[in-house]
Amino acid sequence: MLSSGLRFLNQPAVRLGADAFIKNGCVKRTMSISALAGFEGKHFISIDKLSNEELRGLLDLSKKYRDTYGKESSVDAVTAPKPLTGKSVSMIFQKRSTRTRVSTETGMNLLGGQSLFLGPSDIQLGVNESMRDTALVLSRFNSIILARVFSHDDISELSKWATVPVINALSDMHHPLQTLADLMALEDHFGDLKGKTLAWVGDGNNVLHDLMLGGAKLGMNIRIATPVGYECNAGVLETTKKLGAESGTADVFLTNVASEAVKGSDVVVTDTWVSMGQEAEYEKRVKEFDGYQVNATLMKQANPGAVFLHCLPRHPEEVSDEVFYSNQSLVFPEAENRMWTVMAVMAAQLGRI
């Protein structure tokens, strides 16, 4: 049986397995963060667009911000450094999100900047005004444009015309901010991730795309189980295989059987089966994802000490309460990390690290 104790934010147990990694990492952190000096002015679109050094730098800068601004920090929030004073981010939301909005607004405030929420009733990308004009106008007002959209084409168009850095806060192809939060949670728990095995169980979607890219960059073995017809993007798969080869990992394992992917894994990850905009497909998808719920039986196929991730919001058909609220679950530290990681991205884009 899984432990029913909930692992709360910053609970010491989350980090026990990573003590040596954290101790050594503190020594190297300043050097890795300095690699972000060339990140100023860059867009943040997908994990594969980052160099390995930039990925490492963003993860370490995220940890630095948690140490500085987190609830366990001894630094007074009022007197803490405010490197983004005078800076602002416009946040375009075609799709609603609790974590993305709250993490960005709170994080920007902690760093001394301002955020402006633009929902569907405030702005209609490419409808009343062209994407090009929207990008050019917002670039005149704001230091960064963050966008959470349906189509990845919208992100591509915004980044093409914007004269300030753009952050992809989610598109139908990529979700790079989530991957930073996931990898940070895994490093906090395990330490060095090289050689660890990550199993994905569910839809081959945007969350998987960046997680497989990021995992491969850090030397993780990737195992993926999706129902027939819900496979990941072929182009992202090929890029992941190339990154894995460079990192010396095993070839990506693909299957349509959940237990086959989970066998021998250290991390089990799933996501919603029905994303926003797919509500009409609910009954069809739930039927086709039968057998993909992450539960105690499935977790027993993983290695001892394996952990569980879900980017939220979750639904009971995707993961049982027994797993979701267990000591194997890192979902709440994972969610908290959304703030530290978006803070790191914004600061690096503005050269204020």
Q: Which residues are catalytic?
A: 311
Alpha-carbon distance of 285 to 107, in angstroms, equals: 35
Neighbours of 69 (CB within 10 A): 19
Alpha-carbon distance of 260 to 44, in angstroms, equals: 34
Do residues 203 and 226 touch, judged by C-beta distance below 8 A?
yes
- Among candidates 328, 268, 294, which has minimal Cα distance to 5? 328
DSSP string for residues in 84-145: TTT-EEEEEESS--HHHHHHHHHHHHHTT-EEEEE-TTT--BTTTB-HHHHHHHHHHH-SEE
Do residues 340 and 107 touch, judged by C-beta distance below 8 A?
yes
Rounded to the nearest 10°, the torsion over CA 333, 214, 208, 226 is -120
Residue 95 tokens, joined: 């799709």
